[in-house]
Amino acid sequence: MREIIQNIKNLSIGFKSQDGREIAILKNISTSINRGETVGIVGESGSGKSTLALAMMGFAKQGLYPISGECIYKSKNLLDLSDRELEKIRGKQIAMIPQNAGQSLTPNLKIGYQVEETLKLHTKFDANERSIKITELLNKVRLPSPNIMAQRYPHELSGGQQQRVAIAMALAGNPDLLLLDEPTTGLDVTTQAHVLELLNEIAKDTKTSMVYVSHDLGAIAQVSHRVIVMYAGEIVLDGDVRQVLRSPLHPYAHGLLNSIPKLSLPGLPAAMPGTPPQPDENSKGCSFYERCELAIDRCNSSKPELKSISNSQTKVRCFRHDKLEEKELNKKADLILPQKSSEQRVLNLDNISITYARQSILDQILNRFSDKNITVKDIDIDIKKGETIALVGESGSGKSTILKSIAGLLSIKEGKINFKEDVNLSPDVRHRTNAQLRSIQLIFQNPDESLNPSHTVEEILSQPLKLYFGLNGKELKNSIIDLLKKVRLSGKYLYRYPRQLSGGEKQRIAVARAFAAKPDLILCDEVTSALDVSVQAAVLKLLQDLKNELGTTYIFVSHDLAVVRAISDRVAVLYQGRLCEIGPSSAVYKYPSHPYTEVLLGAVLEPDPDLKPKLAAEDIVEEKPPENGCSFQGRCPRVIGEKCFKETPPWQISNQGNAIRCHINIKDLLKNQS
Amino acid sequence: MFLLILKRLGLGLITIILVSVIIFTGVEVLPGDACTSFLEREAKGELLEICREKLGLNVPAIERYLTWSYNALNGDLGFSLSGQKPISEIISVRIRNSLVLAFTAIIIGIPLAIILGIITALWRDKLPDIFISTIAIFSMTIPEFISATILILVVAIWLNWLPGIVIVSSNTTILELLPNIILPVIAISMVMTAHMLRMVRSNIIQVLSSDYVQMAKLKGVPYWKMVFVHVLPNGLLPAINIIALTIAWLLGGVVVTEVVFNYPGLGRLVIESISDRDLPVVQALALILALIYVGVNLTADLLTLLVNPRLRTLQIRK
Amino acid sequence: MKNTELETIEEKQISTFDRVSEVLIAIFSRPSGMIGFSIVILHIIIAIISPLIVPYDYKEINSLIMLKPPNETFFFGTDQLGRDVFTRTLMGGRIALFVTFFGTIIAIAWGGFVGIFCGLVGGKIDDIVMRIIDAFLAIPWILAMLLIVVILGTSTQVLIPALGFFYGKGIVRVARAATHDVIARDFIMAAKARGHGNFSIIWNELLPNVRDAIMVEGAMRWSWMLLAFSSLSFLGFGVSPPTPDWGLMISEGRGLMSFAYWSVIAPIVALSSLIIGINLSADAFAKALGIDRTQKAPV
């Protein structure tokens, strides 16, 4: 018999709205966590997953309070305990690893002190034993030179290191249950893979139970035994990880899995229609009714219960889950059609270099270039009409910098940007003509930032129309409504402010604004990374549809290799502002690859527990590109000698058509990688 | 780090130089000069000439500015027309008196403001907060001359507990001064405490809602330990600058309170010298008050630099 | 189909009027905002119509009725010159409100302009301007004001620009900080990338987002300015007698308050209520616009 470590019964948590109504954001949650088990809780923003994790510590965020139910730990209801009693449990028996470690570490206290604090509170070690234990813990989470680290302040550490400190802090009390709230969100892919591997090892070593909360099914798949899927404050599916990820029995989980782009499956993922209900919308029926393909009248009139399915551990909240058993998973809605090869060139980046470093006056006078490690260097890319080319890389790879200089927001230091046949776009925005400006449009990562909060949708969309086409009056209004239609929004959005729109709707407005200019080239800067997965799929589909319709060319910048795989025809991989590899997606995602591409691809998390990431390179953060040699020399697992540090590697072209910049012979690369 | 301190010092120096230029040109641009202002209707003929000679007004402005600032650097602030003695002599007594008043107010006001600020933040929107914050708004917004007047009316006149008006000359000993400062100190502390406590309150509330305080709770840190170790050091850091501004205000800006209570400090000297149209004294006062303002702010900046690890290690990392 | 859609759209169009009334409703939905706003409105109405409704001539001196306590003929009593305190109290806010209202407008205008300018250009020019502003801040305002008043006189033509200048400094800082925050955001970048001119970016993208912060700061400055103006009057450097003014009335009645407290109580209540009223409204205004003003420094 399995020992239950925490038992949650009929838990509801909510807040009082301004008009005094009680609004639940967690509704009637019942589940339990077994000893030694890792449970993944997955859901999109607003699903209540973090609130549930915090409730397992007897904690509710400010403004929230438990409405009903219990969280039972060791036969005590945590929600009833006094603060004094909770202090003894928190950190010692149940510990938390927070989402944003950078902001969760107290800025004025040294790392060592913050780890020691937990030891002091929850163990009987004396000062000597504690300092040994601190070193041991920091070692365990693989922080380099623990003794020095202990003397540092949080802001002196990189994001990955801060997350490791948070893990060490949580492990210090030797807890029975570890709660992890999106612990890898915001980290680079390679760092994320390393942290997950560390967590897996800890789970194996310490037999600690873990609850892993994330929106990322890929991460959940790597660590969990069991997965709970949440939607609108309810558990809709609860079962073994393989069962849930391979044949999800709830239409929401099914749709969610389908909307995740995967490396193994090229083409666009299927989008889920609609948006989740607001917490104050109370329906009699199933909360997923509005978005469900399988819904029948009964789903609208009565609420399904979370029920066990006969002869399996899986529980599902759906009347029609049996219909799903036949439905095939991983069917793609749209396979990108093979590129109609157009030879017409839209843009050519001719050996451009960009630097943020300010030139000294002397250098400016002599027109000399003194910066040894330039932010972005020697970028040479040809972009054909109608293609989607992706720039991928981790933070600091210079991908957004390149985009900004194409848009003319940053001036380039060397090289040339050529547009179409003969237009020189090297000068920045101020020196470009109206027509040049119109033909290149930019879509930003976060629509909350890129849409002016004090403008209505109508005002936002009229800006480019007025500027480039001089439209006004009736004509302007009709054009705006046409644009809204193009991004699948109705005219009722015209007078709304951005704050009155959902994340996906906002990004659609941003897309509409870019298309208003009727551009030849659209620059997409991480356009889906601020969005939920199901919304991301819809926005990707919209971009693809518009491209098919209008023949636009995209430059798509992203850190997410799976998204890039889904939408792009060609991929350029960047590291520290230098190109590593470029070629057709089909080729880049196959071997042989540049060692960095190999590392990146290896670190991608697929929503499949049996596809483990490969950890090839150390995850260290490099602040500056090296002065000489290959840009990846600092982390490359395949360094072959002095050459890598001294000489700039040559371009080699593989049989599949991808060009790789590496000193290792391409045949040897292939041999090593396969 | 060292460079950062040097930079702050340099900026402070530039401000002082700018202030002296502004003061000098300010007085220069206004119609008339020190002598015409002081002598008013008698400003003609021989009398005016003697006065101008004495103050050296017959040389070009730039030259006068340079001598003035050179002398000021050496502690010679010029000659008072109305007092007929060196300004530094007049001012030094007043500074002492103002310091007595300011320090008493600081000793009472700052701890009170910090404690009340912490209380209101920790019991936010509860009874103690509502009570204290409401009083704070009143004592902050009601003009000083009103609160001082009411104090005199109630404490001195109706209840007859304390002398309402200070009736000592400017150069009495500190001991003689002390019993007379009770009411002025109360009047000043009320406004000062209210301002500071509101700042302290909002800073601490901000820290209380931070992720790291939530994390401390989730680590099982006991409430009061959390308050003292995680909340207060971070919440009170910005208070250093607020305290600096308050001190600067105390030393220079309590003109109204000093007049109401007839207290012989710097503030009343401002009024006296302006009423007497004694421009050299006004100039000197402006310079000294600006010096205090810049000096106190500079100290606060450097102190923050020392206490805040974020700023302290900034230079080392780069 | 399209037509009906357009019709439903017209109904929902948002005008400036809607926006203003939305903010007003938000202000009035808070008790403090409602009380504060009502007090301010009441004061403004009294200031405008008081010459028509007061029972006596404010400057009529009558030695026979000096320092009479409140009674049926003189609701608030009479002062040391036998003038009706009720009449003088009702009229005592006229000049103060007039001067500080226009002073605030000047402060907002120049403070907002310089602040936005500095926030936009940044770099050396910004550094230099802020240094000069800092230097001005270092000189106590009261000293500078007194000097100006003594030399140039106490007419409204002197007081309005002088107060406006000294109280614009705080607005410069707020406007500059708000501008800094806004120009770092992507929608400004987007407008730049589209190729909008500087003027268009400032007018369409920047101004709507810094306007609120400047207005709230202006409202706050108004109350400080009123305080300053009354202090000047109290010290004898503001309104000259026999013009009725609260600060002046308190100053005149102060010496006699041990036996004639009524001559100071009425102006004290009037002035305090107006300043508290403005403060409460400004706070409610800030909250209605979602600006937390308590984060800002006191000067």
Give C258-268 pLDDT, tens digit per residue: 777 778 888 88
Q: Is A451 contained in some domain? A: yes
**CA distances for B98 relative to B263, B267, B286, C202, C235, angstroms:** 9, 8, 15, 47, 19
Q: CB–CB of A35/A20 below 8 Å?
A: no
Percentage of chain C lying above the pLDDT 90 cut: 8
Burial per residue of C211-233, b for 16 or more beta-carbon CB atoms within 10 angstroms, e otherwise: ebbbbbbbbbbbbbbbbbbbbbb
Query: Do the chains contact at B218 and A155, CB–CB below 8 Å?
Result: no
Query: Do the chains contact at C194 and A434, CB–CB below 8 Å?
Result: no
Please spell the DSSP secondary structure of A354-388, one letter per residue. E--SPPPHHHHHTT----SS-SEEEEEEEEETT-E
Sheet strands side by side (includes A76-77): A22-34, A4-16, A65-73, A76-77
Q: Is A74 contained in some domain? A: no
Instruction: Answer yes or no: do A522 and A397 share one domain.
Output: yes
Instruction: Answer yes or no: do A235 and A354 share one domain.
Output: no
CA angle B2, B6, B8 (to 5 degrees): 120
Give the mean pLDDT of chain A: 85
**In chain C, what residues touch B286 (CB-CB under 8 Å)?**
139-140, 143-144
Instruction: Answer yes or no: do A363 and A401 share one domain.
Output: yes
Instruction: Answer yes or no: do A251 and A372 share one domain.
Output: no
Confidence band of B318 (pLDDT split at 50, 70, 90): very low
pLDDT at A21 over 60: yes
Altogether, the residues listed in chain C come to a count of 299
pLDDT at B248 over 80: no
What's the CATH code of the domain at C123?
Answer: 1.10.3720.10
Instruction: Answer yes or no: do A548 and A591 share one domain.
Output: no
- Backbone φ/ψ region at A456: left (φ over 0), alpha (ψ -120 to 50), beta: beta
Between residues A536 and C29, the one the model is more confident about: A536
pLDDT at C69 over 50: yes
DSSP A71: E
Residue B19: name the closest of B57, B55, B69 by CA.
B69
A105's CB contacts (< 8 A; 6+ apart) are A111, A114, A154, A162, A165, A166, B212, B215
**N-to-C CA span, chain A:** 44
Backbone angles phi, psi at A533, to 5 degrees: -55, -45
Cβ of A96 under 8 Å from any chain B Cβ?
yes
Query: Do the chains contact at B218 and A90, CB–CB below 8 Å?
Result: yes
**In chain B, what residues touch A54 (CB-CB under 8 Å)?**
218
pLDDT at B264 over 70: yes
Selecting from A91, A155, A156 the residue whose C-beta is nearest the C-beta of B220 gives: A91
Q: Work out how many CB contacts closer than 8 A connect B with C.
A: 142
Looking at domain B94-317, its CATH superfamily turns out to be MetI-like (1.10.3720.10)
Of A222-231, A384-393, C77-86, the one with minimum mean pLDDT is C77-86
C-alpha–C-alpha distance, residues A518 and A529, integer Å: 25
The pTM score is: 0.83
Query: Do the chains contact at A450 and C190, CB–CB below 8 Å?
Result: yes
Q: CB–CB of C291/C213 below 8 Å?
A: yes
Selecting from B210, B216, B317 the residue whose C-beta is nearest the C-beta of A156 gives: B317
B21's CB contacts (< 8 A; 6+ apart) are B65
Domain hosting residue C244, numbered range = 80-291
Give A564-616 pLDDT, tens digit per residue: 988 888 999 999 888 999 998 888 888 778 888 888 888 888 888 888 888 77
CA distance B217 to chain A (A): 8
Query: Do the chains contact at B145 and C231, CB–CB below 8 Å?
Result: yes
Residue C169: name the closest of C201, C127, C119, C130 by CA.
C130
Mean pLDDT score, B68-94 = 75
**Nearest chain A alpha carbon to C184:** A449
- Backbone φ/ψ region at A142: left (φ over 0), alpha (ψ -120 to 50), beta: left
Q: Cα torsion at B159, B161, B164, B169 (round to 10°)?
A: 160
Instruction: Answer yes or no: do A588 and A672 share one domain.
Output: yes
**Cis peptide bond upstream of C51, omega within 30:** no
Residue A432: name the closest of A442, A443, A419 by CA.
A419
C-alpha–C-alpha distance, residues C179 and C109, integer Å: 15
C-alpha–C-alpha distance, residues A586 and A565, integer Å: 8
**In chain A, what residues touch C205 (CB-CB under 8 Å)?**
452
In chain B, residues under CATH classification 1.10.3720.10 are 94-317
Give B136-172 pLDDT, tens digit per residue: 888 888 888 888 888 888 887 777 777 666 666 666 7
pLDDT at A333 over 60: no
Query: What integer pLDDT is reported at residue B188 of this predicted model?
Result: 87
Q: CB–CB of A311/A243 below 8 Å?
A: no
Cβ of C130 under 8 Å from any chain B Cβ?
no
State the number of CA atoms in the 13 A half-sphere of B91 facing the CB: 24
Strands in A17-120 per DSSP E: 22-34, 38-42, 65-73, 76-77, 94-97
Instruction: Answer yes or no: do A469 and A400 share one domain.
Output: yes
pLDDT at C249 over 70: yes
Number of domains in chain A: 3
Q: Is A73 contained in some domain? A: no
C-alpha–C-alpha distance, residues C236 and A277, integer Å: 66
Chain B residues 161-220 with CB within 8 Å of chain A: 209-220
Give B18-37 pLDDT, tens digit per residue: 888 887 787 777 666 667 66
Element spanning A574, H or E: strand A570-575
C-alpha–C-alpha distance, residues A650 and A662, integer Å: 6
Cβ of C151 under 8 Å from any chain B Cβ?
yes
Query: Do the chains contact at A118 and B219, CB–CB below 8 Å?
Result: yes
- State ipTM: 0.82
Using a 10 angstrom Cβ sphere, with 0-12 exposed, 13-18 middle and 19 or more buried, the burial of residue B64 is: middle
C-alpha–C-alpha distance, residues A95 and A179, integer Å: 6
Backbone angles phi, psi at A400, to 5 degrees: -70, -30
| Residue A31 token pair | 């589940």
pLDDT at A173 over 90: no
Instruction: Answer yes or no: do A378 and A492 share one domain.
Output: yes
Instruction: Answer yes or no: do A426 and A550 share one domain.
Output: yes
Give C207-220 pLDDT, tens digit per residue: 888 888 888 889 88
pLDDT at B102 over 70: yes
Instruction: Answer yes or no: do A538 and A586 share one domain.
Output: no
Neighbours of A (≥3 Cβ pairs closer than 8 A)?
Answer: B, C
Q: Pairing mode, if any, of strands A553-558 and A521-525?
A: parallel
**Nearest chain C alpha carbon to B285:** C143
Confidence band of B202 (pLDDT split at 50, 70, 90): confident
Q: Work out how many CB contacts closer than 8 A connect A with C.
A: 74
**N-to-C CA span, chain C:** 58
Selecting from A86, A96, A108 the residue whose C-beta is nearest the C-beta of B309 gives: A108
Domain hosting residue A234, numbered range = 225-335
Query: Do the chains contact at B255 and C235, CB–CB below 8 Å?
Result: yes
Q: Is A584 contained in some domain? A: yes
DSSP, collapsed to helix, strand or coil, labels residue B100 as helix
CA distance A107 to chain B (A): 7
Confidence band of C297 (pLDDT split at 50, 70, 90): very low
**In chain C, what residues touch B144 (CB-CB under 8 Å)?**
231
**In chain C, what residues touch A434 (CB-CB under 8 Å)?**
195
Confidence band of C11 (pLDDT split at 50, 70, 90): very low
**Nearest chain C alpha carbon to A430:** C195
| Residue A534 token pair | 């199901």
| Residue A1 token pair | 């018999």
Instruction: Answer yes or no: do A324 and A382 share one domain.
Output: no
Instruction: Answer yes or no: do A327 and A340 share one domain.
Output: no
pLDDT at C294 over 50: no
DSSP A219: H
Give A45-94 pLDDT, tens digit per residue: 888 898 999 999 988 888 888 999 989 988 889 888 888 888 889 988 99
Number of domains in chain C: 1
Mean pLDDT score, A6-34 = 87
**CA distances for C213 relative to A86, A472, C188, C208, angstroms:** 42, 31, 18, 10
Query: Do the chains contact at A463 and C189, CB–CB below 8 Å?
Result: no
Q: Is C44 contained in some domain? A: no
Residues of A with CB under 8 A from a CB of C: 407-409, 429, 432, 434, 437-438, 441-442, 444-446, 449-456, 459, 463-464, 467, 477, 481, 490-492, 494-495, 513, 517
Burial per residue of A614-631, b for 16 or more beta-carbon CB atoms within 10 angstroms, e otherwise: ebbbebebeeebbeebbb
